[in-house]
Amino acid sequence: MQKVKEEKALSSVDDSVIGQMFEYNHEQVLFCNDKDTGLKAIIAIHNTVLGPALGGTRMWDYVSEKEALEDVLRLSRGMTYKAAAAGLNIGGGKAVIIGNPAKLKNEALLRRFGKFVNSLGGKYITAEDVAMNSKDMEYIHMETKYVTGIPELLGGGGDPSPVTAYGVYLSMKASARECWGSDNLKGKKVAVQGIGHVGENLVRHIVKEGAKVWVTDINAGRSAKIAKETGAEVVTGDALYDLDMDIYAPCALGATINPQSLSRLKCAVICGAANNQLAQETVQGEEVGKKGILYAPDFVVNAGGLINVYNELLGYNRERAMKQAEAIYENVATVFRISKEENIPTYRAANRLAEQRITAIGKVKLSHC
C-alpha cells in the first residue's frame, strides 16, 4: 500500500525531474556542468532495451532549464520509437547543450561535452542535430569514441540526407500502393515543402518516376534551382496548401499539419521528411484520417538518417545503408496494416509497431539460454 502511494506521489510530481522521467519511463538523465568552458548540458537516455541509446546533440539558447529538460526528454523518447520501428538494434537518447551556439560553441566546450558522453561508457552515443556540424562531432570524437556523424575521412558516413530522401521516396511509393493500389508515382501530383538537403534529393527521385512536382522554399533560390534542373514548378508562400495535389510532402519544419493547414489541404496522402509534422499528435493524428487523408508517420518515413548513422557503428558502407533503408517501404506498409486491422489512426499504429518490437525483443533478452 505504502509503495503504491509512493509511486503515485512520484508520478504526480509533474515538475520534478524524476516525476517527468516517470511519466514517459526514461531510464537515466545526466546533468552536465563545467564552469571553465561554460558547458551546461543534459543527456537523456530513454530506453536501452534494443541497444545503446543513440541520438543527436542539439545546441539551443533555451529560455529556461525546464524548457531544455522538456525538449531532451521528448526528443529522446522519439528516438526510441524511431529506432524500434526501423528495426534497428539501438535505443533512444538525446542531448541538449544550453546556450547560444554563436557565442558559446568552441573546441573546449565540445571536448568537455565529449568527456561527459564518454563517462556513460557507451550507453549513450551522440550524433549531429540542430546547430551542430561534422566539425563539432570531430571535437567530441577527440574525447570519446561514442559518436557518429563524423566526417567521411575519419570513417564516418557523411551527409545522411540522400539515405533519408530515398526512404521518404520509398514511403511515398508504399503510401501510393495503399491509396491507389499501385506504387507507381507516374502522373501523381506532389507538393514538396522545403528544398533543403532532403527535399532536393526527394524531388529528383519523384521527377525521375514521372510525378508532377511543385516545390516551395522560403529561400527562393533553392526552389528556383531545383525547378530549373528538374522541371518542377515553383509555388511561393503558403499557396502550396491550396493546391489540387495527390501528395503533400513536408520537408521543412515540424508542426505544419495544424488546424490552419488541415482546413485547406485537399491531398490524399501526407508523406515527408520533417520531424514532428503533427502540431498535436493526438489531435491532428486523428483528424487527418477523418478527412480521408492517409498519413505516413514521420518517424517511420524519415528513419533513413538514423539508419545511416547506425551504419557508422558497424563500419560505414553507403551501399549497405541504402539497402537497409529499403526496409522503410515495408515498415510503412506494416503501419497501414496495423492501422486497418486495429482500426486506429496511423500515428498510433506506428507507435504500436515500435512498442511491440521493444516488448518482444525485451523478452528475448531476458532469456538466459
Q: Which is nearer to ligand NAD, 59 or 273 (CB)?
A: 273
Q: Which CB sits closer to ligand NAD, 55 or 285?
A: 55
Q: Which is nearer to ligand NAD, 239 or 253 (CB)?
A: 253
For the bound state, the minimum distance from the C-beta of residue 240 to ligand NAD, rounded and expressed in Å, comes to: 8
How far, in Å, CA of 319 to CA of 325, rounded? 10
Q: Are strands 189-193 and 28-34 parallel, antiparallel or unpaired?
A: unpaired
Task: In angstroms, give the least distance from the CB of 167 to ligand NAD.
Answer: 9
Is the Cβ of residue 59 or residue 120 nearer to ligand NAD in the bound state?
59
Nearest approach, Cβ of residue 250 and ligand NAD (Å): 8
The conformation of residue 241, written as its DSSP 8-state character, comes to: G
In the bound state, the residue with its beta carbon closest to ligand NAD is 196
Toward ligand NAD, which CB reaches closer, 116 or 214?
214
Alpha-carbon gap, residue 2 to 117, rounded angstroms:
37
Who's near 323: CB < 8 A, 6+ residues apart?
Answer: none
- Whether the Cβ atoms of residue 57 and residue 95 lie closer than 8 Å to each other: yes
Q: Which residue lies nearer to ligand NAD by CB, 21 or 85?
A: 85
Residue 288 CA to residue 178 CA, distance in Å, equals: 15
For residue 191, the surrounding DSSP H or E stretch is strand 189-193
Give the active site residues. 94
Residues that bind ligand NAD (CB under 6 A): 160-161, 164, 193-199, 216-219, 222, 251-253, 273-275, 302, 305
Distance (Å, whole) CA 201 – CA 220: 17
First-to-final CA distance of the chain = 36
Q: How far is the CB of 249 from ligand NAD (least distance, A)?
A: 10
Contact in structure between 352 and 328 (CB atoms under 8 Å): no
Task: For the CB of residue 82, give the shortest distance to ligand NAD in the complex, in Å.
Answer: 9
Q: How far is the CB of 246 from ligand NAD (least distance, A)?
A: 19
- Strand order of the β-sheet with 53-60 is 28-34, 39-47, 91-98, 53-60, 124-128
169-172: long-range contacts at Cβ-Cβ below 8 A with a sequence spacing of 24 or more? 169/202, 169/205, 169/206, 170/325, 170/326, 170/328, 170/329, 170/332, 171/271, 171/296, 171/300, 171/301, 171/328, 171/329, 171/332, 172/206, 172/247, 172/249, 172/269, 172/271, 172/296
Q: How many Cβ atoms sit within 10 Å of the Cβ of residue 54?
A: 28
